[in-house]
Amino acid sequence: MTKWGDKPYYSLNYYLQQLYGEKVYKIAIDGGFTCPNRDGKIDTRGCIFCSSGGSGDFASSASLCVYDQIEEGKKRLANKKSGNKYIAYFQAYTNTYASLDHLKRVYSEAISHEDIVGLSIATRPDCIDDNIINLLSSLNLHKKVWVELGLQTMHSSSAKFIRRGYDLDCFENALDKLNKANIDVVVHLILGLPHETKEDILKTIKYTSSKNIHGLKLQLLHILKGTDLATYYQNNPFHILTMDEYIDLLISCIELIPPNIVLHRITGDGPKKLLLHPLWSGNKKVVLNSIMKQFKTRNTWQGKKSD
Ligand code: SF4
């Protein structure tokens, strides 16, 4: 046992269990958004790795209202759940990229559902303004709100390669505003981007860990069918991490992350029907077991090297 229960790191599961006294499940919602990186405001092609579902491949259909999507999500979880508390996870596309009226409507519909204890909103830092911060702050007074920012990397050359469409200053400005409004921020990072070395990745980990953030989502690079990354890979094959390489890299990252930062994800959850590479990542159970085994073998834990 560690101070985080049975895990050598501060898992989201442990954090939510402490906060709400029971297991809490996330339900992915499609709030009918698009993305400035797809609708032409910044680009029409999207980030190079993004599937046509806008990274929301596990969400219900936006043709259902938010309340019905929550009910559908609850049914999907019926076999494995033990509690009755959920977080509405606005996952598909850019979930603050709409009129304030639309945002108010979809967020309020989620927050007013009796089984929803919080909102998790995935977005881009260039799609957060003062009006949105005010709205999120007022919701945060009723039920907890997390904002998830898809930074992926601190390096400008990689940001250009993935067509992220904003710079590090933009990320820092949004983070600063969210910090001032007391809204917890989770940062998404991708491990294994082409042309990034282990040192580059650890630099991104140190950079984000030095900020005032609530959590990190560490995501293994997936190559999904139909993406520009799949085409790029076909024409310019680059090294894809093996499972052992990923685990070694991941543990080196986690050792550097201070123990107060919650790890919302440490692998990836690519949709199986779209996953091209690496196929080993499709077997989540094996990957997670191997990670735990390696933590034990190395006798290490989150934050061991963070000072
Ligand atoms: S910002 Fe998100 S939704 Fe938009 S293209 Fe990039 S990954 Fe996809």
pLDDT of residue 242: 97
Two tokens, residue 174: 């949004």
pLDDT of residue 55: 63
pLDDT of residue 79: 79
How far from chain centre, in Å, is Cα 11? 13
pLDDT of residue 236: 97
Two tokens, residue 98: 């709409």
Concatenated DSSP letters of the chain: -BTTBTSSS-BHHHHHHHHHSS-EEEEEE--S---TTTSSSS-SS--TT--TTTT-TTS--TTS-HHHHHHHHHHHHTTT--S-EEEEEE-SS-TT-S-HHHHHHHHHHHHTSTTEEEEEEEE-GGG--HHHHHHHHHHHHHSEEEEEEEEE-S-HHHHHHHT----HHHHHHHHHHHHHTT-EEEEEEEE--TT--HHHHHHHHHHHHTS--SEEEEEE--EETTSHHHHHHHHS--PPPPHHHHHHHHHHHHHHS-TTSEEEESS----TTTEEE-GGGG-HHHHHHHHHHHHHHHT--TTTT--
Q: Rounded distance, CA 122 to CA 128, Å?
A: 11
pLDDT of residue 1: 76
Crossing angle (nearest 10°) for helices 130-142 and 168-180: 40
Confirm if 183 and 217 have CB atoms less than 8 A apart: no
pLDDT of residue 278: 96
* Ligand 1 atom nearest 124 alpha carbon: 1
* Ligand 1 atom nearest 38 alpha carbon: 5
pLDDT of residue 280: 95
pLDDT of residue 62: 78
Q: Rounded distance, CA 24 to CA 64, Å?
A: 23
Pocket of ligand 1 (CB under 6 A): 35, 37-38, 46-47, 50, 54-55, 93-94, 124, 150
Q: In order along the chain (307 residues), what is the average pLDDT of each group of 10 residues?
A: 92 97 94 95 96 69 90 88 89 96 97 97 98 98 97 98 98 98 98 96 98 98 96 97 98 98 90 92 94 98 93
Q: Give the mutation target among 30, 33, 34, 35 for probing the ligand 1 site: most ligand atoms within 8 A of CB.
A: 35
Confirm if 275 and 224 have CB atoms less than 8 A apart: yes
Q: Cβ contacts of residue 284 below 8 Å, gap of 6+?
A: 267, 269
pLDDT of residue 268: 79
Protein residue whose Cα sits closest to atom 2 of ligand 1: 93
Two tokens, residue 241: 């991490």
- Using the mean position of ligand 1's atoms as its centre, give its distance from the Cα of residue 50 in Å: 6
**CA atoms within 13 A of residue 16's CA, in its CB half-sphere:** 23
Evaluate if pTM is beyond 0.95: yes
Confirm if 173 and 167 have CB atoms less than 8 A apart: no
Protein residue whose Cα sits closest to atom 5 of ligand 1: 46
Domains of the chain: 12-298 (3.80.30.30)
Question: Which has the closest alpha carbon to 60: 45, 52, 51, 70?
Answer: 70
- Using the mean position of ligand 1's atoms as its centre, give its distance from the Cα of residue 15 in Å: 27
Quote the Cα angle for 294-264-5, to 5°. Answer: 60
- Using the mean position of ligand 1's atoms as its centre, give its distance from the Cα of residue 93 in Å: 6
